[in-house]
Amino acid sequence: MEMSQIALRCDTRYVARLMPSQKVQTNPQSINLHSHATYLITGGLGHLGLNTARWMVDKGAQHIVLVGRSDASDTARQAITQLEDNGAQVLVVKADVSSRADVVRIFEKIKAYYPPVRGIFHAAGVAEFHPLQDMTPQLIKSVLDPKVAGTWNLHEITLGMKLDFFVCISSIASVWGSEGLGHYAAASHFLDIFAHYRHSLKLPALTVNVGALADGGMHYRHQKHTVMRERVTQIGLKHYSPQALLKMLEYSLEMGVAQQVIIDIDWTTFKELYEAREHRTLLKQIKVQLPKPFKGQLGQLGEVLHQLKDASKGDRYDILLAYVQNKVARVLKLEDSQLPTPEQNLMFMGMDSLTAMELKNNFQNELGIDIPTVKFLEGTTIAALANELAQEDKKREIEFLVTRK
Ligand SMILES: NC(=O)c1ccc[n+]([C@@H]2O[C@H](COP(=O)([O-])OP(=O)(O)OC[C@H]3O[C@@H](n4cnc5c(N)ncnc54)[C@H](OP(=O)(O)O)[C@@H]3O)[C@@H](O)[C@H]2O)c1
C-alpha cells in the first residue's frame, strides 16, 4: 500500500477536511515504548486491540492491560499466550469503559500490580448496522457509550498522569458518513473533537479515522449486510491490515498531529464520486487514472445494443426509454411493480452520488456512452435521460457499431 494512498491529514479545526498530507516522512524514527510502563488498550480483546498489543510488545512494552466487557475468546487467549511467551505481562480486566466506576477499578488494579500508565489506546467500540428508520434511543446509546462516555471517563481519570499518548480509534464514517451507521459516525466524531480538545489543553491525543480493516473485526462482521458491502466497494474503499494501520499510526504519533485519516482507497472512484455534484479544490491535487476510451465490441456490450441494432430508427428511442426505466429501478432497488414513469425526476426518487455513479457505469459498460455524473443529480427526468442517450446513440459509437456489424 503506498503512503500517498492512505495518508490524509485533517486540518486543526473541528470540521474534518480532506487534504493530502504534506508532512508524512518516508523514514521516521521508530517509536520505542517503555518496558517499565503500562499500556492500556480498551477493546483490547477485539481484532484491532490484540494486534495493537502485539505491536506494543514489538516496540518494547512489557506491561499490557486489555479491557473488554466479555471474557477472552479462544483467539484472544492464544494471542495473550503469545504475548507472554514474548516476555510481556498481560492483565485482562473485564470492565465497561462507559461506567466511571469500572474505569476507576481498572486504574486501581493497574496501580496495585503494574507500573504507571504511559499510553492509552482507546479501541473499544460497537457498530451495528441500523437504517435510520430502525434507530431507537437504546441503539444510539449502545453505540455512543464506549466512544463518548468511555472516552470522557478515561480522560478525566488520567488527567493527573503523565501520558505519552492517548490514541482514539475513530472511523472514516466520522469524516464522510456511512449508510446505516449514523450513530456510529456521531460517536466517532466525538472522538475527533475530543482529540482536538485535548490538544488545546496541551495534552497528548491522536484520533485516527480508520477505513476498513482486513482479516477480522467489526467491519468484517458488517460484510454480511449487502448494502454495507456494496457501499464500501462503490466508494472505492479497500481493506488493509491492522499492521499497516499501526505502521501509519506510528508516523502520526511522531508527527504529533491531532487527527489522521488512514485509509486505502481507489482515488479514481472516490474522486469521481466526491466530485459528482461539484469540483473540490482540494481534490485537484489527487491524480487519478482517466477512464479508458470506449473501444468495446458489440458482443462485449449489453443486451440493449443488440436490441438497438435490430430496431428501426423510430423504435430506438422507445428501447432506450425502457432501458433507462429498468436501470433506474434496479439502481434504486425499486420493487418490480414500481417501474418509474418517463416523467419521474431522478432526484425526487432518491438518486444520490453513489447511485448516480452506478447508473453512469451501467451506461458506460452497456452502451459505451459516458454521461457526466452531475447530470443525474441535476433533477433530470427519465425521459430526458433517454433522450440524451438517443442523441449520443445517433452521433457516436452505437451508430458506428450498429452500421458496421
Ligand atoms: N474493523 C474495522 O474495519 C474498523 C473500521 C473503523 C474503525 N474501527 C474501530 O476500531 C476499533 C476496534 O474495532 P475492531 O474491528 O477490532 O472491533 P472488535 O473486534 O469488535 O473489537 C471491539 C472491542 O471493543 C469492546 N468493547 C465494546 N464496548 C465496550 C465497552 N463499553 N467497554 C469495554 N470494551 C468494549 C468489545 O468487547 P465487548 O463487547 O466484550 O466489550 C470488542 O472486543 C473500534 O473502536 C472501531 O470503532 C474499526
DSSP per residue over 321-360, as a string? HHHHHHHHHHHTT--GGGPPPTT-BTTTTT--HHHHHHHH
CA of 227 relative to ligand 1 center, distance in Å: 21
In a domain, 247, yes or no: yes
Instruction: Give the atom of ligand 1 at the shortest distance from the alpha carbon of 125.
Output: 45
Select the highest-mean-pLDDT range: 22-26, 96-100, 224-228.
96-100
Q: State whether 227 and 307 are in the same domain.
A: no
What residues does ligand 1 touch, defined as CB less than 6 Å away? 42-43, 45-49, 67-70, 96-98, 123-127, 145-146, 150, 169, 171, 210, 212-213, 217-219
**292 within domain boundaries:** no
255 and 375 fall within a common domain = no
The helix/strand/coil state of 221 is helix
- Answer yes or no: is pLDDT of 297 > 60: no
Residue 228 lies in a domain: yes
Are 363 and 252 in the same domain? no
Q: For residue 307, what is the domain's CATH number? A: 1.10.1200.10
Same domain, 226 and 354: no
Quick one: 350 and 311 in the same domain?
yes
Kindly give the distance from the C-alpha atom of residue 219 to the centroid of ligand 1, in angstroms, as a whole number. 10
Tell me which residue range forms the domain holding 381. Answer: 298-404
Write the CA distances from 183 to 150, 156, 280, integer angstroms: 15, 24, 27
pLDDT at res. 232: 76
Tens of pLDDT, residues 154-195: 999 999 999 999 999 999 999 988 878 899 999 999 999 999
User: What pLDDT shows up at residue 399?
Assistant: 52
CA distance 364 to 370: 5
Last residue of a domain, one of 237, 252, 285: 285
CATH code for the domain in which residue 248 is found? 3.40.50.720
Domain end among 253, 285, 317: 285
Instruction: Give the pLDDT mean for 133-144.
Output: 95
Q: Of 192, 226, 227, give the one whose Cα is nearest residue 208.
A: 192
pLDDT of residue 287: 72
Is 293 contained in some domain? Answer: no
Which pLDDT score, from 0 to 100, does residue 97 have? 98
Residue with CA at minimum distance from ligand 1 atom 34 = 68
Residue 292 vs residue 77, higher pLDDT: 77
Q: Is the residue at 324 inside a domain?
A: yes
**Average pLDDT in the 59-66 region?**
98
Cα 52 to Cα 7, 224, 345: the distances in Å are: 19, 25, 50
The CA distances from residue 200 to 191, 193, 205, in Å, are: 14, 11, 10
Which residue's CA is the nearest one to ligand 1's atom 15? 217
The better pLDDT of the pair 162, 226 is held by 162
Of the candidate ranges 6-10, 62-66, 143-147, the one whose mean pLDDT is the lowest: 6-10
| pLDDT score at 94 | 98
As a whole-number percent, the residues of the chain with pLDDT over 70 amount to 85
154 contacts 110 by C-beta, under 8 angstroms: no
Q: Above 90 in pLDDT, residue 61?
A: yes
The answer on 53 and 165 residing in a single domain is yes
Q: Which of 350, 304, 305, 303 lies closest to 329 in space, CA to CA?
A: 350
Lowest mean pLDDT among 101-105, 268-272, 356-360: 268-272
Give me the chain's average pLDDT, please: 85
Cα(289)–Cα(327) distance, rounded to whole angstroms? 26
In this structure, of 182-186, 251-255, 267-271, the range with the lowest mean pLDDT score is 267-271
- 286 has a pLDDT exceeding 80: no
Residue nearest to atom 41 of ligand 1 (CA): 69
pLDDT at residue 19 in the model = 47
Alpha helices for 59-181 (secondary structure H): 74-85, 100-113, 137-147, 149-157, 173-176
Lowest mean pLDDT among 68-82, 132-146, 221-235, 249-263: 221-235
Q: State how many domains the chain has.
A: 2
